[in-house]
Chain A
Amino acid sequence: MAKKDMDLRFGKFGTVSFTFTTKVNDFMNGLEQGKVSGTRCKDCGKVYFPPRADCYNCLGSNMEWFDVTGKGKLLTYSKLEYAPVGFENDLPYSIALLDFGDYKVFGRLASDITDDEIKVGMEMKVVANELPNGQLNYVFQKA
């Protein structure tokens, strides 16, 4: 495929994306519509988040999308006071991990949550989010 024809949708993921082409680029369409999605193997039923194009369990590539909905439990989080190159303008921000039982989701806490509201074990939901620089990611809000 010529470079101008390449599907670079994933370059819009996060403050700075390090990946531009992936077979799960449709994840970005979901984000634009306010959905955060994983994949499920249609052959063996294995569930993946983050989404994958291929199933290591049955070696198939017959995937369907599912939306991350409902409440997850906050497993852990950390508030960064320093950032890697390219993320300085986002400071301070917190990365975190939610447990949905069948899968877990790594991401950021919503910036409007105060420090004393956050507690390991609390219930949270995943929400698609547009960043000030026009990029897309998702954040965790109080459920």
Chain B
Amino acid sequence: MGKVGIIGVGQSAFVRGYPGSIRELAFEGFREAMQDAGITTKDIGASIICSSPEYDKQRSPAGVLAEYLGLTPQPTFYVETLCSSSSMGVRLAYSLVKAGLHDVVAVVGFQKMSEISSAESQERMGRGADIQWESPFGTMMPAYYALHARAHMAKYGTTSDDLALIRVKAATYGQINEKAVYRKSVTFDMFSDPENPLSSPVSSPLRVGDCCANADGSSCVIVADEEKCKAFSKKPVWILGLGAASTAVNMAGRDIFSGLTVGMQAGEQAYKMAGLTPRDIDVAEVHDCFTIAEMMAYENLGFAKPGEGKDLIKSKETYKEGSIPVNVDGGLLSKGHPIGATGGSQIRTIVLQLRGDAGQMQVKDPEIGLVHNIGGVGLYGNVTILGR
């Protein structure tokens, strides 16, 4: 079998309160990817629909979306691994294409989070953790990541100021990403201003500014075999490495809290498959649902040694001009985090970077890019390495 690549990418704007239904939201990312690929629905052999279903009234969204996107009678099915659903979708698309079952597969991620209140959303997100043994204590996503932040601080001396620097970087690029939900500037001083909402505590040591925003959005990645990539695309981007892992859902079942094992393991697998090392990565998208998540990703992916992630952000090495640019599209922190759409959006960013199509956010001439996408509180992890 030959190589497997990506011929089209798209995403909707990530917004608060999308004024339409899930099928219409999904269409936005899909249309952009189809126009990017320059293909028609007849060219697509199968679709994989990715989201977290607890936000929807629609049961089994795959059929409804496939119909609206014009992808019937081709097979369609649904994939869910919380926030990494669409990265897992791309992994499955790769396997379908590599196996020769289909030559072109559309991976559509979406999430319309705004139909429920923020408190309800937190409660549902929290139920992505252990509902039998943890949720009865009143858990939510920021609190779980706060446990990791506290452990990282205790072990390595990381500070809240270090984490704030990651938010400042995210906002630097969110401002120039027209698809981002949060377009405002964030300065370091805002975190020490008690009048500024970003400085108010959410779950110690994390503050409002350490947390990404819920958003509605969709994404689409079109995966194809080598022949179709060459036929349809002048600049296909190849899938060089894939890694995926899981771990205990209950925190009591884990051994490490200053990092995410799924990120480490998925990264190792992807590097091995691609025959590459962290030094080979020219640009990366990592799962920064919270600032601490990006800090841990630096270390878990080998961009920094354990405990030295703070030095990477302090020296601005993860800015666009640095040695390893990370989340130069604003990341989840500023671009927004519509659960099921996030992985596809991250992959889109790296594909655009590798093609030289990233506009104001373009990193200088990258050849290899990496996408790190985590589901739940380090419950699921996917790493995808792409090259041109």
Contacts and interface: CB of A to CB of B under 8 A. Distances in A.
A29 interface: no
Given A15-B137, A85-B123, A106-B133, A79 B250 contact: no
Interface residues of A, number: 40
B158 to A, nearest CB: 13
Interface string B239-261: 00000000000111110010000
Interface string B127-147: 100111111111110110011
A104 B251 CA distance: 8
Interface in A7-24: 10, 13-19, 22
Interface stretch (B13-21, B199-207, B345-353, B362-370): B199-207
A138 B125 CA distance: 23
Contact of B150 (A76, A87, A107): A76
Nearest to A85: B123
B147 A82 contact: no
B122 interface: yes
Contacts of A135: 136
B138 A84 contact: yes
A84 B140 contact: yes
B132 A22 contact: yes
B126 interface: yes
A80 B138 contact: yes
A133 to B, nearest CB: 12
14 contacts: A13-B136, A16-B138, A18-B132, A78-B204, A78-B206, A80-B138, A80-B140, A81-B200, A82-B119, A82-B122, A83-B140, A104-B254, A106-B252, A120-B154
Given A80-B202, A97-B251, 7 more contacts: A15-B137, A16-B136, A50-B250, A75-B257, A84-B119, A107-B137, A108-B138
